Chain A
Amino acid sequence: MSDFPRWKYALVALVMLFGVLYALPNAFIPLSAVQVSANHGAAPVDQALQQKVQSALTSQHIPNDGVQVQGDHLLVAFANTDVQKSGSDAIKAALGDDYTVAFKLESTVPGWLRAIGARSMPLGLDLQGGVHFLMQVDQSGVVDKQESSYADDIRSLLREKNIRYESVARDAKGGRGIVVVLGSAKDRSTASDLIANQYPDINVSDGPSTSDRFVLNAVIKPDKLRSIARDAITQNLSTLRNRINALGVSEPLIQQQGEDHIVVDLAGVQDPTEAKKLIGTVATLQYRPGVVDVGGHLAAEAARTGNVPPEDALYYMRGTKQPVLVSKKIIVTGNELTNANSGIDSRSGTPNVSVTLNATGARKMLDFTTDNVGKPMAVVYVETTYDTKVVDGKEVRVPRVSESVINDATIQSPFSNQFETSGLGSPQEAHELALLLKGGAFAAPVDIVEEGVIGASLGQDNIKTGFKAVLLGLALVLLAAAIYYKLFGLVADIALFFNLVILVAVMSMIGVTLTMPGIAGIVLTLGMAIDANVLICERVREELRNGSSPHASIRAGYEKAWSTILDANVTHLIAALALITMGSGAIKGFGVTLMIGILTSLFTSVTLTHAFTALIHGHRKLKTLSV
């Protein structure tokens, strides 16, 4: 048929082939596996480790389907989730804290399909379950942080008002407030009024005093402490959401449990190790004034004698391990930035992170750099990790804070909200740090106290009836279309089938997580996709009634229906886009399904059916149309 060019047939055939190929992986069911990867500083994954894991499993008589080295990690496959669990326990016991051992679902898609980038859709928490993390939020950490910041504030307040003080420090035992030591009773009462006026959340009381030491106790009010703790959890929850979004996991479950726990369930995680690192790591940057120290003599001296000036702190450079003196004052921290991206520094060729600060951070940075051109500024990398220690026969998780200087450079000219930080070890590290910074810092340190596999939240019978309903619904629509529009209805049915195939193919490529509501969304999309065919068929019927010839009716039917179909679908697309921008789990997934469905249905309902119609009617003289 002349008005349906050959290249369009070819396009239709190609798209159909693409759909079948990329939808195919969903027919292969994944395996339960355990993934082992090395932590920073541990020996890399190699044959020796493979032997060790294999013998650990054999000695405990745990059957497995093979231990394999895959790139920088080790993968052990098991027959089912029960064996997987005991296998993971055995491996963890054998390897200790140097390696991260995590559960994984290993794809069984054949290599030739994977080679072309085809993969199956991960199944959601409701259909298949996933990995489960229980995290404890260390609320005393927030209080510590808050007290330190109040101590800094009080120090600068007293300095500003010219009140001489002997020391301002947090109570040695922690959590008991800030102890201010002043030189006279008069100073103490002035300071007391000042602090009480400036910081309404602090209770100030006089402490024991001697002839030249007048102690003032500043304690954060209990109400404020409670609200700090509550805010900390809320911020941690939103930080976790950001980080998990960055991981690309759709439809996670993140909720607060009890006073100080957070539950994170992730479905279809491809790389649980990275997930664990990203949700559990507490790392941030601090920008601090450096100390003018040509040749590093001062720092070397301080490191040798242990005499560090009271206003400074002694750190070591990342990599070279050289001692560096850095001021205790913090200009800006990772909390005050709005964006971070990793890249490569154009001058030194080392990995870097480019950072955008928020308004307050930018102002502080501008003020500092304007006053300190020619002086050094240091970037301190702060990471909190947890070690397992046995105290009194019980396992206790102890936080360990490691701080190192990644960069100590002279300020060339003032800058404010945008700048770059170089000196990171590897592009991978820069990438991880950028993700962490972008996701926002945890307000309180968190520790993963429990991890495991969690089963599907829907029962097998629920899933079965759900699928049955979906198939029945589709079958009924196919039948109804065939009865009502006869041959044109059958063509629409073929289009609908390929719409499903292509939709699944595209969703698999993007990696949309499939959930039961998601399946309902697919069905709805298909139910609505047939609208385009209804429009075309009704138009063709109208043209026939108006006395046009069959071929002319087909042509006019497609032409006239097209403008309507386009308008209807574009407005529908706008609605779908809004669902996606809302960005929250299930709704976002649904919006993505809807949007892909609208686009695929535009193709299948119009171009694909036109190809079939042209193929069927093209070379024959027609008296009537079966529509």
Chain B
Amino acid sequence: MEIFNHNSNIPFLGMRKYSIAIAIFLMLASIALIATKGLNYGLDFTGGVSMRVDYAQPVQVADVRAALTHGGLRDAVVQSLGGTREVTIRFQPKEDPGAVQANGKVNLDRVAADVMKMLQGVRPDAKLKGRDFVSAEVGAELKSDGTLAALFVILGIMAYLWIRFERRFAIAAVATEIHDVLVTLGIIALVQREFDMTVLASVLAVIGYSINDKVVVFDRIRELFRLARKAEPEEILNRSINNTLSRTIITSLFTSITMGALYFIGGAVVSGFAVTMLIGILVGTLSSIFVASPILLWLGVSKKDLMPVTRDNPELARRP
């Protein structure tokens, strides 16, 4: 079975002015969105309220969850503590808008009272044992570590591509990579999807996925340059994209199938991860086709940069 015509020769490079313009626009828009709307951080980043509730009779955690969801606390984390008669509940106070005062401070007693009302409506034997603010689960060091890791990825990938390919490939790959991550984050900020640790992991996975995609095309570009007797860069780049097009799209489709299943039926925990990945796959695939190669062309890639280094014997060269 074949979906794609293997002789296709779509002039992707011909549209480079438009595709790059769109890419730059998307990046700027994403930066603006992240700066203005911001990311909707989840409980593990912000911390929130923690309550402990005692029951006179054994209680099912699922019932407690149902009571909270019914009352409007959709993202509360409920866990049994010790046996079957005590539970802890953690949630972001913004889920209970009535308790957030005008100055942004949270009335802890009000939150606790609201939640107890929800619980006692179903089970009158529920009793509040304690309530407190809890800090974020991830330490502040994640931010500095994260920046460092991003830098490490960029430098590492650049160094590898520089050695295995050439300087221009390294620059083009990293530039496209930054575009992919920014646009993915921009879309998450736009739709205000909750940004928690799993979504962060997913964003970082997008980096891995999209670099994979770019390298496949770059590999073909190098191969075609080396094979071609007369190498017109634009034509070589275009042929490389077309030759790998089938693979680029099939791989994206296969990966999307798994993530789609997670998104549609996987439930709340994995849907954030899956949808971020889906966005990332789409952005990464498009940028592999439309953005990476035009950058390469502008940087002035040529055949002679890619020929294998012939091992000249310095001794011989010195002889007259």
Contact = CB atoms under 8 A, between A and B. Distances in A.
Partners in one complex: yes
B254 A530 contact: yes
Given A257-B50, A263-B134, A459 B197 contact: no
A423 to B, nearest CB: 35
A465 B79 contact: no
A586 B134 contact: no
B202 to A, nearest CB: 8
Contacts of B259: 473, 523-524, 527
Interface of B: 1-3, 6, 47, 50, 61-62, 65, 77-84, 88, 132-139, 141-142, 145-146, 148-150, 152-153, 156-157, 160-161, 164, 173, 197-198, 200-201, 204-205, 207-209, 211-212, 215-216, 218-220, 223, 243-244, 246-247, 250-251, 253-255, 257-262, 264-270, 273-274, 277
Contact of A520 (B50, B152, B247, B273): B273
Interface in A245-274: 253-258, 261, 263
Contact of B269 (A85, A126, A590): A126
B201 A587 contact: yes
Given A473-B260, A527-B257, A534-B251, 4 more contacts: A454-B80, A516-B269, A568-B211, A577-B156
A466 B258 contact: no
Contacts of A336: none
A466 B264 CA distance: 10
B132 A587 contact: no
Contacts of A472: 261, 265
Contacts of A85: 82-83
B142 A584 contact: yes
Interface in A445-484: 452-462, 465-466, 468-470, 472-474, 476-477, 480-481, 483-484
Given A469-B266, A534-B250, A574-B156, A584 B145 contact: yes
Contacts of A590: 201, 204-205
Interface of A: 81-82, 85-86, 126, 129, 132, 237-238, 241, 253-258, 261, 263, 452-462, 465-466, 468-470, 472-474, 476-477, 480-481, 483-486, 516-517, 519-521, 523-524, 526-528, 530-531, 534-535, 538, 541-542, 545, 560, 563-564, 567-572, 574-579, 581-587, 590-591, 594
B273 A465 contact: no
B219 to A, nearest CB: 4
Contacts of A571: 157, 160-161, 173, 211-212, 215
Given A459-B65, A538-B246, A575-B208, A454 B79 contact: yes
Given A257-B134, A458-B269, A520-B270, A476 B6 contact: no
> Which interface residue of A453, A526, A582 has the most chain B CB atoms within 10 A?
A582
A523 B271 CA distance: 13
Given A85-B83, A452-B82, A462-B269, A535 B77 contact: no
> Which interface residue of B141, B145, B149, B201 has the most chain A CB atoms within 10 A?
B201
B90 to A, nearest CB: 9
> Which interface residue of A253, A530, A568 has the most chain B CB atoms within 10 A?
A568
Contacts of A584: 138-139, 141-142, 145
Contact of A523 (B1, B142, B244, B262): B262
B201 A461 contact: no
Contacts of B250: 484, 534, 538
Contact of B153 (A258, A575, A587): A575
Contacts of B216: 535, 564, 568
Contact of A253 (B80, B137, B247): B137
Given A129-B79, A581-B149, A581-B152, A466 B266 contact: yes
B145 A531 contact: no
Given A455-B81, A531-B212, A567-B164, A582 B146 contact: yes
Given A82-B83, A473-B258, A587-B200, A238 B269 contact: no
13 contacts: A256-B134, A256-B135, A457-B79, A461-B62, A473-B261, A477-B254, A528-B208, A531-B254, A534-B251, A571-B157, A572-B209, A575-B207, A590-B204
A453 B82 contact: yes
Nearest to B150: A578
A282 to B, nearest CB: 21
A571 B216 CA distance: 11
For the residues of A in contact with B, the DSSP-based class is helix
Question: Which 9 A-B pairs have CB atoms at the shortest separation, nearest pair first?
Answer: A473-B261, A455-B80, A469-B266, A258-B132, A473-B258, A256-B135, A575-B208, A527-B255, A527-B258
A582 B145 contact: yes
Given A129-B80, A527-B257, A570-B160, A455 B219 contact: no
Nearest to A560: B223
Given A257-B50, A517-B273, A574-B156, A564 B215 contact: yes
A468 B157 CA distance: 36
B204 A470 contact: no
Contacts of A576: 208
Contacts of B79: 129, 454-457
B137 A255 contact: yes
Nearest to A479: B257
A534 B247 contact: yes
A572 B134 contact: no
Given A542-B6, A581-B152, A523 B258 contact: yes
A536 B292 CA distance: 23
B251 A254 contact: no
A564 B161 CA distance: 12
Given A466-B269, A534-B254, A582-B146, A238 B77 contact: no
B153 A578 contact: yes
A542 B7 CA distance: 11
A241 B212 contact: no
Nearest to B86: A452
B80 A567 contact: no
Nearest to B136: A255
B197 A258 contact: no
B273 A583 contact: no
A366 B100 CA distance: 56
Nearest to B133: A258
Contacts of B61: 455, 459
> Which interface residue of B77, B82, B223, B247 has the most chain A CB atoms within 10 A?
B82
B209 A528 contact: yes
Contact of A578 (B156, B160, B274): B156
B231 to A, nearest CB: 19
B258 A465 contact: no
A528 B244 CA distance: 16
Nearest to B213: A568
Nearest to A254: B137
Contacts of A452: 81-82
Contacts of A568: 211-212, 215-216, 219
Contacts of B62: 459-461
A605 to B, nearest CB: 12
A241 B145 CA distance: 14
Given A523-B262, A578-B153, A564 B201 contact: no
Contact of A528 (B77, B81, B255): B255
A444 B156 CA distance: 40
Nearest to A523: B258
B198 A520 contact: yes
A471 B215 CA distance: 30
Contact of B205 (A255, A456, A469, A524): A524
